[in-house]
Amino acid sequence: MKLRNIAIIAHVDHGKTTLVDKLLEQSGTFRENQRTEERAMDSNDLERERGITILAKATSVEWKDIRINIVDTPGHADFGGEVERILNMVDGAVILVDASEGPMPQTKFVLGKALKVGLKPIVAINKIDRADERHQEVLNEIFDLFVALDATEEQLDFPVLYGSGRGGWMAEAPTGPQDKGLEPLFDLIVKHVPEPDTASKDEPFKMIGTILESNPFLGRIITGRIQSGSIKPNQPVKVLNGEGSLVENGRISKILAFRGLERVPLDYAEAGDIVAIAGLSKGTVADTFCDPQVTEPLLAQPIDPPTVTMSFIVNDSPYAGTEGDKVTSRVIRDRLLKEAEGNVALKIEESEDKDSFFVSGRGELQLAVLIETMRREGFEVAVSRPRVVMQKDETTGETLEPIEEVVIDVDEEHAGIVVQKMSERKAEMTELRPSGGNRQRLVFHAPTRGLIGYQSELLTDTRGTAIMNRLFHSYQPYKGPLPGRTNGVLISNDLGEAVAYALFNLEDRGPMIIDPATKVYQGMIIGIHSRDNDLEVNVLKGKKLTNIRAAGKDEAVKLTPPIRMTLDRALSWIQDDELVEVTPKSIRLRKRYLDPNDRKRFEKKKVELA
């Protein structure tokens, strides 16, 4: 059967996964009476809860005797490593752009990578049924983006379709016709995307690993595109790493092909097809899986370096091990190394004392998703505030820090406060223009340091109406110190359960972040101090009971609801001397040193060093 391999790439929330749903539906993959879930490709629990794609996934549909392999990719910049890898697997890409928002930072990122690999993209302007759509301006912006990214003349001559992924139609004109459904898109993919080169099928087998997953029955499953040759089950293969060294020898136990949402075992696969293979125990992402006679590995796409790092520390709080069953440094280390195998954008380093690990990634969201996944698996771990990964300029010796391109869409009335707050964070504005509907688009180049924790503040300043998107831009000279958190914290001075009466009497000191009857311990953060210093408080102090009764004495205590600290918010809010304790049931904030005397020693030492 003839093949086409395509990726669907776009910014977060521009409708990739919804479009894949409709492609599967209209190609006859599902029975007419089959009940299907919305966003069928987002199989992971976290993907469904957050409404974003985290892992790249492959599927395939049949259209007029042609099999189209489709790869659905993440749209969030933190998961850009997934997109960079899968571009090796495909011969074409559908760039999806929102008809109202236009090209966004991630559109620019993925398009730049696709053009660099030499793909000739198809542009699909989605959500044309929005009331604030502006398809003509968006098309001009896309063309300008292609030019800015040094597209060749062939790439600049891109075909355009308009439509609605959710409505299940695409057409050459914004007005339709809508009755043909996605037929114009299928036909354009078949016509515009080149067929995989099958001339190499007589050469020895070679495939580069792109997606790694584990299966309880088959073990490690590696997905990739066969670059040359063919394979059959039980065929001997060897695995080479990027330098050409041997990783392992083995046999392929099973070849699986993607057929809709199912995986079907194959007896034979050849050059050009996207398949998953099982049977190897060490081969991983970016390794070359090949015939035993091959000596040279395939070149893997280089991955952008991580920009943010965090410490994962063995939980040493008094409640350690009471809620999770995976608490030792050995199991945490094994889990992190397993994650780094499949996610090449992550980098893991072990500390000298073996009790903590430095995990570096693309952004806070990527690391927060890893922590959330681990806590659901039963892990307990304490994590530090995210820090940026600095670099040294080799010629001048100057310290360089990561700078991000930040695009903020905001109502005109709130633009002033956003500009003010961003300038305090050493950001430089590069563009300000209207984006339709009394909204403005502000574009900044800002240090990554200054953006940690800004998301929640931005939503507060703009009454929840602003949308912020970020993308790594470059490394630039260090911009100097930034303003920190203005409030101190309220710290529990003892171990026990928080009492409502004590919390009520502490409300004058600042808002609480815990409920009554919450288990607390010495050094745990229970509230935000209204002043800039930290304060130790007693939350276990109950009301003194006497047998004298007076009117109005025994009124029920009415507490102000506490501030809820989600994992993402807690990570961005804590300071360098604080940690977030994450367990399967709780998220607690604490001081790095629980004993007040240890904290004083640490502060004294810090002052002496300064």
Annotated binding site: 13-18, 126-129
CA dihedral over 585, 588, 592, 593, signed as positive or negative: negative
Of 291, 266, 4, 274, the C-alpha closest to 119 is 4
The letter for the amino acid at 576 is D
CB-CB contact of 562 with 515 (8 Å): yes
Q: How far is 137 from 151, CA to CA, in rounded Å?
A: 20
Widest distance between CA atoms in the chain: 97
Q: Which residues are annotated as a binding site for GTP?
A: 13-18, 126-129
Which positions ≥6 away from 507 have C-beta within 8 Å? 559, 560
CB-CB contact of 294 with 236 (8 Å): no
CB burial class (10 A; 0-12, 13-18, 19+) of residue 161?
A: buried
Q: How far is 303 from 81, CA to CA, in rounded Å?
A: 6
Task: Give me the residues paired with residue 144 across strands.
Answer: none
Residue 404 has phi, psi (to 5 degrees) of: -115, 150
Q: Give the DSSP H or E segment for 489.
A: strand 489-492
- ∠ CA 110-349-605, rounded to 5°: 115
Q: Parallel, antiparallel, or unpaired: how do β-strands 230-231 and 269-270 relate?
A: antiparallel
Residue 246 has phi, psi (to 5 degrees) of: -75, 130
For the CA atoms of 124, 127, 128, 133, what is the dihedral angle to 10 degrees? Answer: -110
Q: How far is 294 from 296, CA to CA, in rounded Å?
A: 6
Q: How far is 440 from 432, CA to CA, in rounded Å?
A: 7
Under DSSP, the state recorded for 202 is: G
Bin 341: left if φ > 0, else alpha if -120 < ψ < 50, else beta.
alpha
- What's CA 422's distance to the chain center, in Å? 23
Sheet strands (E) in 241-286:
246-251, 254-259, 262-266, 269-270, 274-278
b/e burial code for range 217-256 (CB count within 10 A of at least 16 → b): ebebbbbbbbbbbbbebebebbbbbeeeeebeebebebbb
CB-CB contact of 1 with 60 (8 Å): no
Which single residue is written with the structure tokens 């004993």?
Answer: 595
Q: How far apart are the first and last CA of the chain?
A: 69
